[in-house]
Structures are given as C-alpha cells and as structure tokens.
A and B are shown apart, each in its own frame.
Chain A
C-alpha cells in the first residue's frame, strides 16, 4: 500500500466516553466485521477489561475505507498506562479526541490530548453521545475547540451508540490526518508499540513500520536489546490475526517472533533486519519504571509456587509488571511487586485472584524512595523494611496532578491537596463552570487514601490525572509496628513525619482489636526508631481451661485440644505472639478500605 493511502490513528478518550463503542461502529461501518461477527467491544479481549470498561492492552485493527487503509491503534485510557499510550501515539499520525457530550473534558482527556499534541499528531475533535438527554454538544464542542485550537464548527458531533456521524469520522480521518512519512526504500525500521504472549508461538510484537519493508521468515533484530529472531509470521488484525507476506513502510501489524522470554523484546524498541539493517534506532526508547510497590503474599503459604507461576505468566503480557521474591517474618514467602500505578496494582491483584484462583494478602502500597546514606551512597528502596535506620536524606517521587472540578469544589480540592503536602501550580477556567487545577504532590500521598477522599469530597465530580515529574527531598520517617517488642516487618511504613502519629495510632488500635488475647500481656507499639509514638496493650487472658474432665470426657477433651493446637498452627508467629492471618488481613485492609 502506498504511503499516501495509509492513515494511522488512535482514539483518545476518558473511561466511559465511548471509545470502545466507537471502535465497534468503525468495524461495522467499514464492513470489517459482519453484524453477526460483531460482539460488544471486540477490541477488549480480556474478561476484566470488559467488566471494568477499560482497555488494558493496546491493539491495532486494520480497516478499509474508500480506497484507504486505516489502522486504529487502541490505547488504554487510564493514567497508569500513560507510557503505553505514548508508545501507541508514536505509532500514529493522528488521534480522535473523543469527549462525552454530557460530561465534557476530563483530566485524563487533557493528559492524553497533551500527549498527542506533544507527539505532533493531527487531532480530530469529536463530541460523542449527542443523543443523551443531558448532552450539551455546543458547550463541549467549544471546550474541545479551545483545547486543540480548532474552529468549533469543525468539531464532529456523533453518537457511537446509534452510529450517527461515524462515517463522517472516517472521512475526516482520511482528510485531516496526515499520511505516514517514511522511506519505503530505506533499511527496514519498525517501532514496537506493544507485545503479547502466545503460549504456542511466543512473543507477538505489535509494530508500526516506519521505513522499508519486512518479509516473513526474515531474520530480525531488536536494536536496543540486541535480540535476534526469525519473523515466523507477519500480519495485521482485522480484528483477528490475518497473516501477510510483508509489512511495509507506514503500515501497522504484528510479528510472531517465537521468542519465549518476554523480557528479550521490549516495547519501545526498534526492529530492523538482521542483515543490512538500519544503523539508528527510532527515537524515544525509554524503560518503563514502576512507581508503586506492594508485597504480595499467598494467604496459604502452600500457594507460594502457584503465585510465582502466576506472576511469571502475567509478566508475559505485561512487561511493566515488576516482581522479586521477598520474605516476611510475619507473612512468609511472597513477592515485592512494582506497578505503574494503583489501578495497575488493582488489575494485577484481581487477575491473580480471578484467573489464577489465588487468595492474596497485599501489604500497604508504597512508592519508590531514593535514600542517600551518610556514606554518600544512593539506594532505591521499594519496601519500608529495606529502609536503612539511619540516612542522610530521602527523596520521594512527586507528581504533577491535574484535576478538573466544577467551580464550587475548588476550595475543597485545594484543602485536600494542602493536607496532602501539595504545592499549587496553576489554575485555569475551562469554561464558566469548570476549573482545572494543577498541583505538585508527593506520589505517596496519592497512594494512601487519596482517590476516595477526592471522590467523596467532590461528590464524584472531580476528574483526576497525574504525571510523575521527579524526585524531591521529603521529611520522611519509617514507622515500625512492634508486638511484644518484636517488629512486624510487613506492617512497617514510610510516612511523612507529620502523618506518622496518626497512621501509627490507627494501626496499633486496629491490631489491638484484631489480635486475640494471649497468655501474657502484649504491648502493641508504633515506633520511629527507638521512640514509641503510640501504644496499646492486649491484656492477657485470665482463664482458658476445659471445665470438667472425667473418665467419660477424655477423648472429647483430647480432640478439643488437638483442634486448639491446629488453630494455633495456622497462626503466624511474631516472636512469642500468635497472630491469626485474619488480623493481618484486617490491618492491611485498613489501608485498602480507605483507598
């Protein structure tokens, strides 16, 4: 296909603004799928994606429209996957910016729109759901036009649900989005913008060919990783895998690599021919770094091997998932996992529980810290337990948070952000009613109980997005929880000094309620170093006897004791204190509940 007949585009939209429905309609209108083949939201393949209405993995679908090849590159709509979005946008020349006619621009729309603008994409603004009773297409079109610098008249107004205006979109894509640029005769180069894993055929790379031509059975090389492999199959999605002999400059498709190790082919890398290949990779390869960490432990320690296998399998389709073995004296063997954000963490956790049928204990999430020791060394700390007791200073990740709220919630939002150590950056009226606030905040403050607070304080009207902007020094302390003088590693926290007492107090009180009374008094303490900041005591039991025991009772009483013994065995031993698993669950959920 000639370059000028190709259009590559994404749809940028907030969750629920109708991106998947629009994708469905495009498949229908272009007759890529017959209505019989049509399934609701075909692009979201995973069960979880359909349920949550979000798209986790990017996919690309090729459709034909009036002599043109259109490649729709689907993108995740959530902030945690900004990295994947930016990869996907790099594979495109244009984007549909899709906004709900009733809700208007949301923070995520903004973030992704800025991403698209930064990538110099041609933007086609679209107002969706114009048939909703509460829709205000004119106002939303004005907001959108303002955002992208377009004439409001050029903002398309459609209903993806009814199909109204979908054909106009396809025409607009051909007219307004640039054809790909590239040199069909140069050495082949393709950007890997995503990958998935097929258990029979190994890693499947999703690529956008920039220059030259790739052929089936050709030897290829990933330029950054240095990995070589044979292109076992080339093809595109329509939306099922359709093999083809070649992929040419400007086209989007997939490469079956046969590679069994997903880490050997990274998203963002450049593919080229192994022989006479390109010398310069495509720009923009950047390793994705997890920002949120938590310990994952099987509730039943016998399930450790299953958890390990499950993480391995998840990692195959999710290169951004990070994990390493971790041992907790209280929780046993588990993994310290790194995620792109809280949603990513929730998705991984749910998939582990749902697809792999595992019962998990998840420790309170924390961010990555940079610790500078007195000796001048710099260590990255992913777990409070690894925080050295003494250090010169600590840096924590900061984010630029963009929040859009109706104007009456501006004060509330500022109050929340100030409580969370936020720094005001700027504020902007998007319309008469809606205000965008930009704040810099420590990521750790978002990880703990921020979303729920934001939601409840703004009655759900706030839309929120963030970008990690760097590290800054923080007045941080490590709070340890001690049972009868023994630290419980799984419950340690890193918090700002001002929040230490409150968090410590809450944990200590909850533990006192959850841990059954023992045969001796058990002090429960929260401490910073050797300084105790909160203390409760679990009073010793005063009696625990089997009342009667005569000749007729012996067997029954013995069985009672055996049961008691088995119950004790299920407890986790912290020093001399027996702690039921449920107590840990309850305490860890203390964080979960608030989130």
Chain B
C-alpha cells in the first residue's frame, strides 16, 4: 500500500557549536549518538513508509548541520533515503571538504544549501559563525568541483553593527560566486535566545536605519538577474527550491527526526525535540512522542493563503476565497498592495515588502471554534 506524500524532510540536529541567533532543534557534538540517531531515522522512515508515494519528488536534509554528522553515518542515511528528483542537503562552509562533496554526490544529492550568512568576519563573529569568508568560497568551489550545478547560499542581513556598505559587500561577494539560488533572511532576534539578550537593544536602536535593507537585497538581486520568487528566496534560470515550493503550495510533507513536522491530509504532527525519548521509542519499534494538530478546513485555507502569497505567482482565488475578507481585499487593491491576475490573487511588488501586514488584513475572521 502506498500513500500520496511526495516530499520528505529529514532532520539532522547535530552541530559543532551553537550559534547565538539559532532557535532550531540542534545538539552540539554527541558524536557517539550519530549512528543510533541515523538508525532511529531509518526506523521512523520504515514506520511511515506507507504515507509516501511511489515517486518521491523531493528530499530535504536539514539541521542542525547535516554535514557535521559523522560521514559514514551520513553516507549510510543518504543511501537509504528514497530516490528523488531533488535531494537537498544543508551544509556549513567549514564542513565542506572535497571528500564530503564527493560523498554527497555519491549519495544522490542534487542540491546543496550552504550557510554563508555573511562575508564580513566581524559580523560572522557576532553571529557565532565559525566559518571565515574564505571557507565559504572554498566550500563553494569544492561543491562545484564535485559537479554540483545547483547550489544555494544563505545570507543574513540586519546583523547588529551591519552598515549598508557591509550588506552591499556581502551581496557582491555572494553574487560573485554565481549561485543558482539565494536565501536572504532578516535576522530575527527571537525572544529567549542568548542572542536577543546580548543584542536585542542594539537591534531596536538600529531598526530604523535597517529598514531599507530588505529593499536593498531585493533590488540588488533582481538587478543581477535573479527572480524574487518567494519573500526570502531568489533563483536564476528556474532553479527554485522544489522542496520548499511544496510547502508554499500547501502540499503534504513527511518530516523525520527530532522536532520534525509533518502535514498529511489535514493532520499536522511534530516529533518531540528530546533526543533520548526519540531514540528510546524508535529502538522499541514505536512511534516517537508527537504533538498532534488537526487542521480544520478553514485553517487549511488560511494557511494556503498565507503561504501562497509569499510567492511571485498568484494563488488561485477559488482555493483561498473562503479565507479572504473581501472588504479588506478591495482596500488593499486600491492601495496597490494586492492584485488580481487571471483567476488568482498575488501581492504587488510593493505589497510583497509588506506581506505580513497585508496578509493579516486580508484574512477573514475565523470563528473561534475553528482554532486549536
């Protein structure tokens, strides 16, 4: 019996050190657990195998730092994952050696997402990043040498102390490498992180002067020939992230590993983030502890709208109409923040800079009993 899910996410939580701004489920070191963890992942895959379609389209191995995982275990994992048209692995520059690049290639990986973040040593220090600018370039070349023709770079902007000239330079450095894809995130100082504790006040002070950074990123990348296809993502020559596109288009996905989220047929669940319980459950051949979130029909339509409006392509109006406040739509259209094209709805160029507020406006009230 085979299911319909065509998108698989696998979480590898291990890192060599923790970056102050990060709020993902990560574990520092724990080399002794890498083998057991990969075993557990494969057991979970076995348990959920029935959900997957025969032809899996995309696999995304994220972290953590997947490339920090013991190479033998990483190789074993890649070999055991279903074949797919796009297989992405996230990598930190300092972990990428020629050997690792070859291992990824041999493991069927088609796309690497490289966490560059910045090319300015001072700012890399603020972010607790270990890689130096030359590590980023070296990693990129190793990947190219291993004939990877689809590489994405992650950049972070709005770092405490980052001047507009710094951002300009980062973008230039990144563009000089001609990556197929760029993800550019504004630094989020999430409450409760060490980073926010240390830099929160400074970020508040800078907020006004950094307001134009998003525009600077978008303008620069568009001018360099990239397509701004999602709020924070840019690509050239049609190299969109097919896996991530699946999220934004509201498709079902299966997530494996601690903290991983799955959404299948109106049910969302998240594995508990604690490693010992995850290992114990799967070693006993049982499902790991999970938090379930049934998605009401109305909620699914809301999410479809919220995610779909992140893209540069319109969302078919018929799919989201139920979640749209029509008065707000008219107002936003007159403000030229939203437009209707063909049978669909999309944000205008300016609207995309204000996507959060526009979407909040556009969402109709949902009766309270539809919330979980």
Please encode chain A, from 557 to 582, with 1 for each CB lying within 8 Å of some chain B CB and 0 for all others: 11001101100100000001000000
A549 B307 Cβ-Cβ under 8 A? yes
Question: Which chain B residue shows the least CB distance to A520?
Answer: B335
Q: Is B361 touching A568 in the complex (CB atoms < 8 A)?
A: yes
Residues in A neighbouring B363, C-beta threshold 8 A: 561-562, 565
Tell me whether B335 and A544 are in contact (CB under 8 A). no
Q: Within 8 Å of chain B (Cβ to Cβ): is A545? A: yes
The answer, yes or no, to whether B278 is at the interface (CB within 8 Å) is: no
**B356–A549 contact, CB under 8 A?**
no
- Asked if A519 is at the interface (CB within 8 A of a chain B CB), the reply is yes
* Complexed CA–CA distance, A334 and B306 (Å): 37
Measured between alpha carbons, how far is A565 from B186 in the docked complex, in Å? 22
Contact partner of A545 (CB less than 8 A), chosen from B253, B307, B353, B371, is B353
| Shortest distance between the CB of A483 and any CB in chain B (Å) | 15
Tell which of B29-37, B92-100, B120-128, B211-219 binds the partner: B211-219
Shortest C-beta distance, A580 to chain B (Å), equals: 14
Asked if B185 contacts A547 (CB within 8 A), the reply is yes
Q: Are B337 and A519 in contact (CB under 8 A)?
A: yes
**Interface segment, B75-83, B159-167, B174-182, B260-268?**
B260-268
* Interface assignment of A276: CB less than 8 Å from any CB of chain B: no
Alpha-carbon separation in the docked complex, A542 to B354 (Å):
7
Contact between A543 and B354, CB atoms less than 8 A apart: yes
Instruction: Judge if B115 is at the interface, Cβ distance under 8 Å.
Output: no
Contact call B255/A551, Cβ cutoff below 8 A: yes
Contact present for A561 and B360 (CB under 8 Å): yes
Q: Does B191 contact A (CB under 8 A)?
A: no
**Contact between chains at B335 and A564 (CB < 8 Å):** no
| Residues of A contacting B302 in the complex (Cβ-Cβ under 8 angstroms) | 558
Interface residues of A in 142-196 (CB under 8 A from B): none
Total number of B residues with any Cβ neighbor in A under 8 Å:
44
> Closest A-chain residue to B247, C-beta based?
A551
Q: Is the C-beta of B231 less than 8 angstroms from some C-beta in chain A?
A: yes
Q: Tell me, yes or no, whether B342 is within 8 Å of chain A by CB.
A: no
Q: Which residues of B contact A551 (CB under 8 A)?
A: 9, 247, 253, 255, 261, 263
B288 beta carbon closer than 8 Å to chain A:
no
Q: How far is the CA of A51 from the CA of B22 in the complex (A)?
A: 55
Contact status A549-B310, CB under 8 Å: yes
Assembly CA distance A564 to B328 (angstroms): 15
Shortest CB distance B371–A (Å): 8
A548 contacts B by Cβ under 8 Å: yes
Chain A residue nearest to B302 in the complex (CB): A558
Assess the B353–A544 pair: CB atoms within 8 A: yes
Known A-B contacts A520-B335, A561-B306, A561-B359; the reply to A545 vs B261 at CB < 8 A is no
What's the Cα separation between A479 and B357 when bound, in Å? 33
Does any Cβ of B come within 8 Å of A506's Cβ? no
Tell me, rounded to whole Å, the shortest Cβ–Cβ distance linking B172 to chain A: 22
Whether A564 pairs with B360 at a CB distance below 8 angstroms is yes
Given the interface pairs A542-B212, A542-B353, A557-B306, the reply to whether A519 lies near B261 with Cβ below 8 Å is no
With a CB–CB cut-off of 8 A, which chain B residues contact A520? 335
Task: Output the least CB separation between B216 and chain A (Å).
Answer: 11
Contact A565 B360 (CB under 8 A): yes
| Complex alpha-carbon distance, A550 and B58, angstroms | 14
> Which B residues are in CB contact (< 8 Å) with A576?
331, 335
Smallest CB-CB A-B distances: 9 pairs = A564-B360, A544-B357, A543-B214, A544-B356, A552-B261, A544-B354, A565-B360, A547-B185, A545-B355
| Chain B residues packing against A (C-beta within 8 Å) | 9, 185-186, 188, 211-212, 214-215, 231-232, 244, 247-248, 253, 255, 259-261, 263, 268, 270, 293, 299, 302-303, 306-307, 310, 331, 335, 337, 352-361, 363, 365, 371
Starting from the known contacts A542-B211, A543-B354, 10 additional A-B residue pairs (CB-CB under 8 Å) come to A544-B354, A547-B185, A547-B186, A547-B232, A549-B306, A549-B307, A551-B261, A555-B293, A558-B299, A565-B363
Task: Please list 29 pairs of residues, one from A and one from B, whose beta carbons are closer than 8 Å in the complex, sorted by A's number.
Answer: A519-B337, A519-B358, A541-B354, A542-B353, A543-B186, A543-B211, A544-B355, A544-B356, A545-B186, A545-B353, A545-B355, A547-B188, A549-B231, A549-B310, A551-B9, A551-B255, A551-B261, A551-B263, A552-B9, A552-B255, A554-B247, A554-B268, A554-B307, A555-B261, A558-B306, A561-B359, A561-B363, A564-B356, A565-B361
